[in-house]
Amino acid sequence: MEIRYRHEWKHEIRYADLLAIRQRLRAIAVSDPHASDGKYLIRSLYFDNLNDKALREKVDGVNMREKFRIRYYNGDPSLIHLEKKSKISGLGTKYSAKVTAEEAQAIVDGDLDWMLNSERSLVQELYCKMRYQGMRPKTIVDYTREPFIYMPGNVRVTFDYNIRTGLNCIDFLNPDCITIPAPEAGIILEVKWDDFLPSIIRDAVQTPGRRVTAFSKYAQCRMYD
């Protein structure tokens, strides 16, 4: 299977920027059909090893890096994805596999033996890294996402905000797990595209005085550690 890497921009923006860009996007793009009232809630549980390899590589700007997470949407654990995000020189790709709520809970509880016999290669890869590299669940990251889609160029534009951290809580499936606002976490504008970014989108997401940033929700949610 061909691995397809996508371009990514991230900008930390102000609320006034969000209002202006959202208005422009509504005129040229469509909301993600999976969104409810234009947005959805995301809960992710991120993994890292005993040396915080994923966190340190992100902070240090390592050129080639990866991170694992499991996530579900709008408080509904009937559809959970295990994901691995890989990045090389600013280009990103994502591998995904479905897991059940029971499987996700087993991973959180450290019950790993079943993973080795899974037919999903990503589950097997996570097993190996948990068993032999000390990878473990680290923290919950909650946030609200507003997604827009523009088909030419396969462009996806999202606003992420209300970013909250579970600190050291890894009780991923517990809806009552307490999360608190992540420090210094504002509004993140993210733009992803394949081979080209149409000029109409480039113009729509312009934020004068704002620079592309390497903001990481996971890193931000580990700042209390």
Query: What structural domains does the chain harbor?
Result: 6-220 (3.20.100.30)
pLDDT given for residue 76 in this prediction: 93
Whole-angstrom distance, CA of residue 44 vs CA of residue 104: 11
What SS3 class is residue 216? Answer: coil
Give residue 220's pLDDT band: very low, low, confident or very high (50, 70, 90).
confident
pLDDT given for residue 175 in this prediction: 83
Residue 218: is its pLDDT beyond 90?
no
Lowest-confidence range among 85-99, 131-145, 206-220?
A: 206-220
Question: What pLDDT digit, counting tens, does each position of 122-165 carry?
Answer: 999 999 999 999 999 999 999 999 999 999 989 999 999 999 99
**% helix / strand / coil in the chain, to the nearest 5?**
25, 40, 35
pLDDT given for residue 149 in this prediction: 96
The more confident residue out of 156 and 186 is 156
Residue 212: is its pLDDT beyond 70?
no
Long-range contacts of 132-136 (CB under 8 A, 24+ apart): 133/49, 134/49, 134/50, 134/51, 135/47, 135/48, 135/49, 135/68, 136/47, 136/48, 136/49, 136/50, 136/110
pLDDT given for residue 125 in this prediction: 97
Give residue 213's pLDDT band: very low, low, confident or very high (50, 70, 90).
low
Q: Choose among 40, 24, 7, 74: nearest CA to 206.
A: 24
Q: Chain-wide mean pLDDT for the chain? A: 90
pLDDT given for residue 90 in this prediction: 77
Averaged pLDDT for residues 79-107: 94
HEC profile for 8-41? EEEEEECHHHHHHHHHHHHHHCEECCCCECCEEE
Whole-angstrom distance, CA of residue 94 vs CA of residue 108: 21
Residue 211: is its pLDDT beyond 70?
no
The more confident residue out of 169 and 213 is 169
Averaged pLDDT for residues 159-184: 90
pTM of the model: 0.92
Identify the sign of the CA torsion 97, 99, 161, 139.
Answer: negative
What's the token pair of residue 151? 């088909």
Lowest-confidence range among 108-117, 148-157, 184-193?
A: 184-193
